Amino acid sequence: MEQKHLKRVDLIFEWDEKNPPIQVLDKTLQKTPDAIILEMIDSGLKGRGGAGFPTGLKWKFTRNEDSDVKYVICNADEGEPGTFKDREILDRVPEKIFTGMAICGYVIGAKEGYIYLRAEYNFLLKSLQQKLDKFNQQLKDRQIEFSIFLRSGSGAYVCGEESALFESMEGKRGEPRNKPPYPTVAGYNSKPTVINNVETLVYTCEICRMGAEKFKALGTSDSRGSKVFSVSGDTTKPGIYELELGMPLKDFIDEFGDDDAKAVQVGGASGHCVPRKKFNDTIIGFEGIPTGGSMMIFNSSRSMYNVLHDYLEFFTEESCGQCTPCRVGCQQLLKGIEAVKKGERPPAYLEDLKKLTLTMKIAAKCGLGQSVANPFISIVDNFKEEIIY
Amino acid sequence: MTNTENFVHELAEKHGRTRNALMPILQGVVARDKYLSEEAMIAVARELDLSAADVYGTATFYTFLDTVPRGKNVIRVCKTISCHMHNKDEIIKALEEQLKCKVGETTSDKKFTLLTANCLGWCHKGPVMLVNDDVYPELTPQKAIEIVQEYIRKSN
């Protein structure tokens, strides 16, 4: 097996003076859509929002749909606790996002693109709109029939779920839809839609700039390329860092920890908690624990009961309430750990609560309810004493 | 037409009258009035030919689309884990003392509403708060108070 180590990479924020995004666009549009799709598939790029669906396939499926109207949507509803990379990308290199969207529009045959920006980032709206106006004009000058528009969210975590995001853009409650149909078939306005994360779109632009080979040279066979990580919690270096995928968590902790790390929450509130004893064996990537980028470090001064309690409060508030397993499940989990802590329920009750999370994993309608099992089981199993006493 | 109906009419002219225009219109009302009054929601329903219940149903789903009156400035302090670990409780306590109101309440002069919010996306620079759309990271209790005082000074 390839053994990777922590390595810093500079693709996302790098500005290639000789080859700025608009020139990447010009160069790329000389290729056929099929050639671009092949390059994306060859690069091995998987979605950077957390779910990790192969980007090239998403583009291909949408291209293959027969429809006059199609859409490209940039999911900028970054709300996972511990994640803030998209905000920095939107602030510093939005032109790369726009370019990725325009390339995607050309590939799938879409004339409209939308950026759905979370309301918490409204302070970015003005400068984004200015840069977008300039970019749209550049497209017009080149007679490229594609325009990008901005839409705002209004403070709902669940709208980061793609079908809930479409519902919100359609003026409805942000309640996730049943799948299938998938967005590639019926997304925004029930038309074929590519919806990609902010960071994913930037990588598509970078792959078009430097070629799939160079991108592929980074990472492992399961996790090609690099990824932007948001580092927070008990760390000496909070911030965002682009790192090669496939490193052991141990390397990460050696670099960013405060020498007292007892656990890392990989992938935000809906991700997995890894205790110190497993740092060596945990690979950060799709072959190990994938992450949308959130890396929260906890040192020995932190109570993991408080951490789990915070997460469950978050899910209870952010559950859209549409499906019973998630709406009731989140509430019961929160009440449940409080009852165990107070001694009103025996420690064995935690096993019942774990079963409840597994039911939610099967029965909840979307990723929100389905993924509560990740933090719950990993924190309860690894820090049982802290939860009980 | 009342002032509110006029304003909603202008927003509908700008954003269109399809259901897809509902969010931008509601956001436009909240940007001006800080909340959606019953009058505003009914006016939106009329403009877009929707039932008022549909408008209310959509509005109440979203944290940032308030349906109860809010102060001129809405403060949202992040309460999620990283900010929690970096003492957001002290920020909230300082603001409560300064504003003489609790979380969820509006000051008697209607100038401020104090709220908490889930992750605002500044986990590396917590604690953080939003005042309306503006963001203030790396807070200390003292800094939070000074920011609020600045808003008071500007409004006088």
Domains in chain A: ranges and CATH:
21-216 (3.40.50.11540), 226-299 (3.10.20.600), 304-381 (1.20.1440.230)
- Contact between B118 and A318 using a beta-carbon 8 Å cutoff: yes
Give pLDDT, residue A337: 98
The nearest CA of chain B is from the CA of A31 a distance in Å of: 35
Collect all residues of chain B within an 8 Å Cβ-Cβ radius of residue A234: 85
- What pLDDT score does A2 carry? 64
Which one of A80, A172, A230 has the shortest CB-CB distance to B58?
A172
pTM tops 0.90: yes
- Interface contact A234, partner B, CB < 8 A: yes
Of B20, B26, B133, the CB nearest to A170: B20
Given the cut 0.95, state whether the ipTM is greater than it.
yes
Residues in chain B within 8 Å Cβ distance of A154: 23, 26-27, 62-65
pLDDT of residue A3: 77
Q: Do A123 and B133 touch (CB under 8 A)?
A: yes
Interface test with A, best of B20, B77, B119, B138 (most A CBs within 10 A): B119
pLDDT tens digits in sequence order for chain A, 389 residues long: 567 999 999 999 999 999 999 999 999 999 999 999 999 999 999 999 888 999 999 999 999 999 999 999 999 999 999 999 999 999 999 999 999 999 999 999 999 999 999 999 999 999 999 999 999 999 999 999 999 999 999 999 999 999 999 999 999 999 999 999 999 999 999 999 999 999 999 999 999 999 999 999 999 999 999 999 999 999 999 999 999 999 999 999 999 999 999 999 999 999 999 999 999 999 999 999 988 899 999 999 999 999 999 999 999 999 999 999 999 999 999 999 999 999 999 999 999 999 999 999 999 999 999 999 999 999 999 999 999 99
Residue A24 C-alpha, separation from nearest chain B C-alpha, in angstroms: 30
Residues 13-72 of A with CB under 8 A from B: none
Of B118, B123, B133, the CB nearest to A317: B118
Distance from CA of A322 to the nearest CA of B (A): 11
The reported pLDDT for the residue numbered A51 is 85
Distance from CA of A78 to the nearest CA of B (A): 8
- How far is A122 from chain B, CA to nearest CA, in Å? 6
Class of domain B73-155: alpha beta
**Domain positions in chain B:** 3-59, 73-155
> A81 and B63 in contact by Cβ < 8 A?
no
pLDDT, residue A380, reads 98
* pLDDT value of position A1: 54
Inter-chain contacts counted by CB atoms under 8 A, chains A and B: 120
3-state SS string over chain A?
CCCCCCCECCCCCCCCCCCCHHHHHHHHCCCCHHHHHHHHHHHCCECCCCCCCEHHHHHHHHHHCCCCCCEEEEEECCCCCCCCHHHHHHHHCHHHHHHHHHHHHHHHCCCEEEEEECHHHHHHHHHHHHHHHHHHHHHHHCCCCCEEEEEECCCCHHHHCHHHHHHHHCCCCCCCCCCCCCCCCCCHHHCCEEEEEHHHHHHHHHHHHHCHHHHHCCECCCCECEEEEEEEECECCCEEEEEECCCEHHHHHHHHECCCEEEEEECCCCCEEEEHHHCCCCEECCCCECCCCEEEEEECCCCHHHHHHHHHHHHHHHCCCCCHHHHHHHHHHHHHHHHHHHCCCCCCHHHHHHHHHHHHHHHCCCHHHHCCHHHHHHHHHHCHHHHHC
* A contact test, residue of B77, B78, B124, B125 with most A CBs within 10 A: B124
Confidence band of B1 (pLDDT split at 50, 70, 90): confident
**Confidence (pLDDT) at A56:** 98
